[in-house]
Chains A and B, each alone.
Chain A
Amino acid sequence: MSTARIALSTSAARPVLTPLVWIEAKRFARHPLFLAGFALALLASGGEYGPVELDHGFVPAFFVGIFGLVVAARLTASTRRCEAVVDAAPVSETTRTAALCAACLVPVAAALVVVVVYQLALALHDPRPAYVYGVFTTGERYLILLILPVIACLGAPLLGVAVGRWLRFPGAALLVAVALILWGMLAGYLPSQGMDASTWPARTLHMLTPYTAWVDSNSGSGATWVPTVVRSLTGSPAWFAAWTLALCALAACAALLHGAEGRVRQAVLRASWGAGAVALTSLTLAVVTGYSVPHDSSSEGTVVADSRTPLPPQP
Chain B
Amino acid sequence: MTTPVIELQGVSRRFRGATVLDDLQLEVMPGVVGLLGPNGAGKTTLLRILATVLGTDGGSVRILGRDPEDAAERTEIRRRLGYLPQELGYPRGFTAYRFVDYMAVLKEIEDPTVRRAEVRRVLEDVDLADRAAKSIRTLSGGQRRRVGLAQALLGSPELLVLDEPTTGLDPEQRVSLRTVLAERGRASTVIIATHQTEDVAALCEHVIVLDRGSVSFQGTVSALVAEAQGRVWLADAPDPRAQVSWRTATGRYRNLGVPPPGADLVEPTLEDAYLLLRGAAGSEVEREAA
B48, A8: Cβ atoms closer than 8 Å: no
B91 CB → nearest A CB, Å = 4
In whole angstroms, how far apart are the Cα atoms of A79 and B151 in the complex? 14
Q: Which partner residue on chain B sits nearest A75 by CB separation?
A: B91
Q: A1-B180, A78-B92, A81-B90 are in contact. Are A16 and B156 (CB under 8 A)?
A: no
Cβ distance B165 to chain A, nearest Cβ, rounded Å: 13
Taking the complex as formed, is A195 at the interface, i.e. its CB lies under 8 A from any CB of chain B? no
Q: A87-B53, A88-B52 are in contact. Are A16 and B105 (CB under 8 A)?
A: yes
Flag whether A139 is at the interface (Cβ < 8 A): no
Q: How many residues of B contact A (CB 8 A)?
A: 49
Which of B89, B110, B187 is close to A15, meaning CB atoms less than 8 Å apart? B110
B75 touches A88 (CB 8 A): no
* CB proximity to B under 8 Å, residues A252-295: 261-262
The yes or no answer to A84 lying at the interface (CB within 8 A) is yes
B187: chain A residues within 8 A (beta carbon): 3, 5
Chain A min CB distance to B101 (Å): 8
Complex Cα gap A7–B156 (Å): 10
Please give 10 more A-B residue pairs, beta carbons under 8 A apart, in addition to A3-B183, A8-B109, A91-B106: A1-B183, A2-B156, A6-B155, A8-B155, A13-B108, A78-B93, A81-B89, A85-B84, A86-B106, A91-B105
> Which residue numbers of B lie inside 8 Å of A, CB to CB?
48, 51-53, 71, 75, 78-79, 81, 83-85, 87-93, 98-99, 101-103, 105-110, 112, 114-115, 118, 121, 125, 148, 151-152, 154-156, 158, 180, 183-184, 186-188
Q: Are A84 and B53 in contact (CB under 8 A)?
A: yes
Q: 8 smallest A-B Cβ distances: which pairs?
A: A81-B89, A89-B106, A78-B91, A9-B108, A84-B85, A90-B78, A88-B83, A6-B155
Say whether, besides A8-B155, A81-B91, A96 and B71 are in contact (CB < 8 Å). no
Q: A1-B183, A2-B121 are in contact. Are A82 and B89 (CB under 8 A)?
A: yes
Expressed in whole angstroms, the minimum distance between the Cβ of B61 and any Cβ of chain A is 14
Q: In the complex, what residues of B have CB within 8 A of residue A120's CB?
A: none
> When each residue 54-91 of chain A gets 1 if its CB lies under 8 Å from chain B and 0 otherwise, what string results?
00000000000000000000000011111011111111
State whether B78 touches A88 (Cβ < 8 A).
yes
User: A141 near B: Cβ within 8 Å?
Assistant: no
A130 interface contact, C-beta 8 A: no
| A86–B105 CA distance with the chains assembled, in angstroms | 11
> B88, B98, B103: which contacts A89 (Cβ < 8 A)?
B103
Which of B98, B107, B186 has a CB less than 8 Å from the CB of A90? Answer: B107
Contact A82/B88 with A88-B83, A89-B78, A91-B108 known, Cβ cut-off 8 Å: yes
State whether A16 touches B152 (Cβ < 8 A). no
- Give Cα A82–Cα B18 distance, bound, in whole angstroms: 26
CB-CB < 8 A to A79: which residues of B? 91
Tell me if A3 and B156 are in contact (CB < 8 A).
Answer: yes
- Shortest distance between the CB of A17 and any CB in chain B (Å): 10
Name the distance in Å between A3's Cβ and chain B's nearest Cβ: 5
B37 to chain A, nearest CB (A): 20
The number of A-B residue pairs with CB atoms under 8 Å apart is 106
Contacting B at CB under 8 A, from A139-162, are: none
The answer to the question of A20 belonging to the interface, with a C-beta cut-off of 8 Å to chain B, is: yes
Instruction: Decide if A16 touches B110 in the complex (CB within 8 Å).
Output: yes
Let me know if A19 is at the binding interface, CB within 8 A: yes
In this complex, the interface size class of chain A, counting residues with CB under 8 Å from chain B, is 35 or more
Q: Which residues of A contact B (CB under 8 A)?
A: 1-10, 13, 15-16, 19-20, 23, 27, 30, 78-82, 84-92, 96, 261-262
23 A-B pairs with C-beta separation under 8 A = A1-B125, A2-B121, A3-B156, A3-B186, A4-B156, A5-B158, A6-B154, A6-B155, A13-B108, A16-B105, A19-B110, A20-B105, A80-B89, A81-B91, A84-B48, A84-B87, A88-B51, A88-B53, A89-B103, A89-B106, A89-B107, A90-B75, A90-B78
Q: Which of B52, B71, B109, B148 contacts A261 (CB 8 A)?
A: B71
Q: Identify the closest chain A residue to B121 (Cβ).
A: A2
Give the one of B81, B103, B112 with max A CB within 10 A: B103
Complex-state Cα separation, A11 to B52, whole angstroms:
20
Who on chain A is nearest to B155 by CB? A6
Contact (Cβ within 8 A) B112 A19:
yes
Are B151 and A85 closer than 8 Å at their CB atoms?
yes
Give every chain B residue within 8 A of A20 (Cβ-Cβ). Answer: 105-106
Cβ of A9: which chain B residues have Cβ within 8 Å of it?
Answer: 108-110
Contacts of B91 in A (CB 8 A): 78-79, 81-82
A27 contacts B93, C-beta separation under 8 Å:
yes
Most-contacted residue by chain A among B51, B52, B105, B183 (CB, 10 A): B105
Of B71, B102, B186, most buried by chain A (CB within 10 Å of CB) is B102
Bound CA span A8–B104, Å: 10
